[in-house]
Amino acid sequence: TKQSSSARSDIRNCTTSPPFLPPTVTDTSAQLNALRQRMQFYNISAYIIPATDAHMSEYIAERDARLAWISGFTGSAGTGVVTTKKAALWTDSRYWTQAERQMDCNWELQKIVWTDSIGEWLLQEIPADENIGLDPFLFSIDLWNSYAHVLQGSSRTLVPIEDNLVDLVWGSQRPPLPTSEIYLLPETFTGSTWQEKVSGIRSQMEQHSRSPTAVLLSALEETAWLFNLRGDDILYNPVFYSYALLTTSDISLFVDRNRLSAEALQSLSALCPGPLCVQVEEYNQVRASVQAYAQGDVRVWIGTEYTTYGLYGVIPQDKLVESSYSPVMTTKAVKNTKEQVLLKAAHVRDAVAMIQYLLWLEKNVPKGSVDEFSGARYVDKLRREKEHCRGASFETISASGLNAALAHYSPSNVSSRKLSVDEMYLLDSGGQYLCVWPGLIFVLPRSVPTKTALTMSRNRQTMVVTLSRLPPGWRVVEAFARQALWKVGLNYGHGTGHGIGNFLSVHEWPVGFQSNNVPLVKGMFTSIEPGYYQEGEFGIRIEDVALVVEAQTKAYLTFEVVSLVPYDRNLIDISFLSEDQYLNTYYETIHQRVGPELQRRQLEEEYEWLRRNTQPFSRGTLVATSLGTLAITSLVSTLLPDRQT
Ligand SMILES: *[C@@H]1O[C@H](CO)[C@@H](O)[C@H](O)[C@H]1NC(C)=O
Ligand SMILES: *[C@@H]1O[C@H](CO)[C@@H](O)[C@H](O)[C@H]1NC(C)=O
Ligand SMILES: *[C@@H]1O[C@H](CO)[C@@H](O)[C@H](O)[C@H]1NC(C)=O
């Protein structure tokens, strides 16, 4: 089934005449014409359109999907630039193929990903003495400054335009503001009251060398976490549009008051008046309120990654206390004991759903009755039935064969590939539980069609397993994780880990392994997700969720894996593994924790499946490959965390 790139019918081809456009492409000519008229009116030669919202959210509501509306590209990361003649989109390698499937030939895809490439492109495309427009509420300070830096001294000016030009063109077609209820998360799911959290942040303010008098919160997860409130403004993300200004004596929450449940209002005002009384102000008053506050003898602490240029601009420079992340972001990243317990318990329920799905696939894929879309719907349903589950935590990635090479592909009811026992299948799905959020990714192992493909897939998969156990030494974890692939000249185009929210976001910053992440400490949760993608052929990824814990040798930290689904045995070639205990210990844990739950639910067949799939590997076992050859392998599992310390 290997397809040569010239024959691919799933991506656009702008070099043929007429251009070849697959049905997944959006015609953007009308939108672009209308935008260019507005640009002329505002006297700008280029307009920059990000994929984020005014809170720097990674996942956004439909009404903020401006880049998708103007370009057709729906990936979660990207930047568009429209000039009078051209339109260009920058996105990272995860999304290149998706962009070629969704954009028409009005748009060029820019695959250069270094930060300054947009600025450099603008220098080339825009004549001197002309203006480049952007919405100051959609760019973080850091990003704004990076553009300004490249353009400095070039006589091209960055012009903040407070009317969003895409919104003006979108007009009445733009989805409306949400009106759904904002509700209180009971203390049984949070482990600390919002008053305790506020007091904790205030003591961090006191201890700070510059004694900030206020913290400004712009990220939606920050306000949701701080006040123990949740909403549903963004699909899969239980947050609501809001800002907060927390001072040493007052608390302002900027939100649509009418949306707060009676219980939520009661909780916020229970201790009024006083330092633990929350004043509710209108959402769009935030700029004026911050500006008024900043007139006084004050110092406002902001996280530069999440504060927009539009808000930053109203605080005088000498009154700013800047760090990359606000104290709320960094405090939220460390889960309390209750949250840890809840997260682990949710992983048991989630494992039940996954095992039900795997068994169902084993029965139904050989009949040819499952496609990517129906599979995704079924796994979502199984999960939704579980206790405290509030549905999926992100759009289910259900990708078969060559689609799995797109690290973030989701099927639709118009394009969905049939699952086959001859192809790799990549499922990346997770649940929002009223307490936690396990994200689970694994590969359904099937045999692959040709001998070469088989050998290759098995080897790569094994490397991936090896990589999923990482030693401490946080700053270098990325390099450790990629070492086995680097040795053979391969790599993957996404980070190896990200933090996990407590009934919040599937990707919770600033936890992760990259240079812009904070150091790991005890109590943080992170994913560990090495992968390998062979474009046009297949893709594999393993994603475990792990809790950072103290190692037996104190002073060291290590990981406790909390995901409880066994890897596919067919794809593990144990001769590649270098430690002989890790997998067996892990499988025993899975069996001990998930087995009783399956029995309690009388899922006998699933229990039997679990028993089979968590059998220990043993040194010297004869392993039958699907080619029918026998290979004597020695059991070597991955790095035991404690050995590293
Ligand atoms: C586009 O079509 C041209 C001419 O048929 C072909 O040479 C080229 O390989 C195609 N490109 C892609 C990406 O399919
Ligand atoms: C448009 O912007 C340029 C560059 O700043 C300026 O020279 C010109 O006068 C402006 N034109 C109008 C009509 O405002
Ligand atoms: C496919 O999905 C779209 C969007 O969710 C929906 O409007 C449409 O009715 C669906 N079509 C079929 C055939 O199910």
Which tens digits make up the pLDDT trace of 575-610? 666 555 677 888 899 999 999 999 999 999 999 999
42 Cβ inside 6 Å of ligand 2: no
- Residue with CA nearest ligand 1 atom 6: 6
Examine the pLDDT at 48 and tell me if it is beyond 80. Answer: yes
- Residue with CA nearest ligand 1 atom 12: 6
> Pocket of ligand 1, candidates 3, 8, 12, 16: which has the most ligand atoms within 8 Å of its Cβ, to mutate?
16
Separation of CA 14 and ligand 1 centre (Å) = 8
248 Cβ inside 6 Å of ligand 2: no
**pLDDT tens, 365-390?**
889 999 999 999 999 999 999 888 88
- Residue with CA nearest ligand 1 atom 2: 16
Among the bound ligands, the one closest to the CA of 22: 1
DSSP 188: G
Quote the CA–CA distance of 438 and 563 in Å, as a whole number. Answer: 8
16 Cβ inside 6 Å of ligand 1: yes
Task: Say if CB 278 and CB 268 are below 8 A apart.
Answer: yes
388 Cβ inside 6 Å of ligand 1: no
State both tokens at 392. 């999926």
| CA atoms within a 13 Å half-sphere pointing along the CA-CB vector of 111 | 9
Separation of CA 122 and ligand 2 centre (Å) = 18
Q: Determine the atom of ligand 2 nearest the C-alpha atom of 130.
A: 4
Separation of CA 152 and ligand 2 centre (Å) = 18
6 Cβ inside 6 Å of ligand 1: yes
Confidence at residue 421, expressed as pLDDT on a 0 to 100 scale: 83
Strand duo 87-90 + 397-400: pairing: unpaired
Confidence at residue 436, expressed as pLDDT on a 0 to 100 scale: 41
- Least confident residue range of 183-197, 233-247, 466-480: 466-480
Q: Determine the atom of ligand 2 nearest the C-alpha atom of 157.
A: 5
For 222-250, give the DSSP string. HHHHHTTEE--SBTTB---S-EEEEESS-
Confidence at residue 475, expressed as pLDDT on a 0 to 100 scale: 52
The four Cα atoms 206, 212, 218, 220 give a dihedral, to 10 degrees, of 0
- Residue with CA nearest ligand 1 atom 5: 16
Among the bound ligands, the one closest to the CA of 412: 3
- Least confident residue range of 89-93, 281-285, 619-623: 619-623
Confidence at residue 625, expressed as pLDDT on a 0 to 100 scale: 33
40 Cβ inside 6 Å of ligand 2: no
Residue 184: which H helix or E strand, with range? strand 183-184
Q: How confident is the model at residue 4 (pLDDT cuts 50, 70, 90)?
A: very low
**pLDDT tens, 116-172?**
899 999 999 999 999 999 999 999 998 999 999 999 999 999 999 999 999 999 999
515 Cβ inside 6 Å of ligand 1: no
Task: Say if CB 252 and CB 173 are below 8 A apart.
Answer: no
Among the bound ligands, the one closest to the CA of 159: 2
Quote the CA–CA distance of 209 and 192 in Å, as a whole number. Answer: 27
> Pocket of ligand 2, candidates 41, 43, 151: which has the most ligand atoms within 8 Å of its Cβ, to mutate?
43
- Residue with CA nearest ligand 2 atom 13: 43
15 Cβ inside 6 Å of ligand 1: yes
Confidence at residue 578, expressed as pLDDT on a 0 to 100 scale: 55
Q: Determine the atom of ligand 1 nearest the C-alpha atom of 100.
A: 13
Confidence at residue 430, expressed as pLDDT on a 0 to 100 scale: 84
Confidence at residue 640, expressed as pLDDT on a 0 to 100 scale: 26
Quote the CA–CA distance of 583 and 592 in Å, as a whole number. Answer: 14
Domains and CATH numbers, the chain: 5-173 (3.40.350.10), 183-328 (3.40.350.10), 337-639 (3.90.230.10)
575 Cβ inside 6 Å of ligand 2: no
Confidence at residue 61, expressed as pLDDT on a 0 to 100 scale: 97
